[in-house]
Amino acid sequence: MPPKTDPNLPLILGFDTSAAHCAAALLSGTQLLGEKYEPMQKGQAEYLMPMLEALLARHGYGFSDLAGIGVGIGPGNFTGVRISVAAARGLSLGLSVPAIGITSLEAAAFGAPRPCTVALDARREMAYVQRFESTPHLPEIMAVQEIPTDFPLWGSVPASQTPPFNIAVAIVQLAAERLPEVGLPPHAQRPSPFYMRSADAAPSSDLPPKIIERIA
């Protein structure tokens, strides 16, 4: 087991399950201690917490050593986003540490030159798009063929230039940057899913069954 780093440096755990993966990264101060990325189509709910515990233990830590949590809040897979957000909120409440939500678009733009446009796959020939200059523009959802190309393009759409990366590494570093800005008590810091679109599963169009009262 490697020795612990300086205990005076904040230890931050970042993780994400917004797509077909379980991703995590551990940061001490500005030093990336370790990361883990497992592609998976399903099973994130069962895999996430053991993976986080193992990543901490590998570096001699436990959940009680954390000073903060960074979590991916989407947009992305609806179930996956809910899994990671629920885990972050539970850990934040149980450990009395802040949980900081980071969008998938912000994470994809981490380290990218400015200005740039981030475009992430939203399925059905649509994309989640956000332009980043000195300050970020509001995110949008649009057809892939409508993505502006005046800025360098980053993200997961076919035309993007982003090299493969572990999204949790970006999440944990962005969370570390924002940790000193967090002024709310831990119980008030509750990351929420950032969906940008309605669920793919449409409500049933069938009429509900009629309830027939029995007359005595």
Give the pLDDT confidence of 99-146 residue by residue, as tens digits: 999 999 999 999 999 999 999 999 899 999 999 998 899 999 999 999
Same domain? For 65 and 22 the reply is yes
Tens digits of residue pLDDT in 6-61: 777 899 999 999 999 999 999 999 999 999 999 999 999 999 999 999 999 999 99
How high does pLDDT run on average in the chain?
A: 86
Residue 21: give the domain boundaries: 1-104+163-197
Q: 21-28 and 11-16 as β-strands: parallel, antiparallel, unpaired?
A: antiparallel
In a domain, 5, yes or no: yes
Q: Residue 158's pLDDT is what?
A: 58
Pairing of strands 21-28, 31-39: antiparallel
Lowest mean pLDDT among 56-60, 66-70, 88-92, 201-205: 201-205
Average confidence (pLDDT) over 169-197: 82
Q: Are 84 and 3 in a shared domain?
A: yes
Please tell me whether residues 6 and 16 are part of one structural domain: yes
Instruction: Name the pTM for this structure.
Output: 0.85
59 and 134 share one domain: no
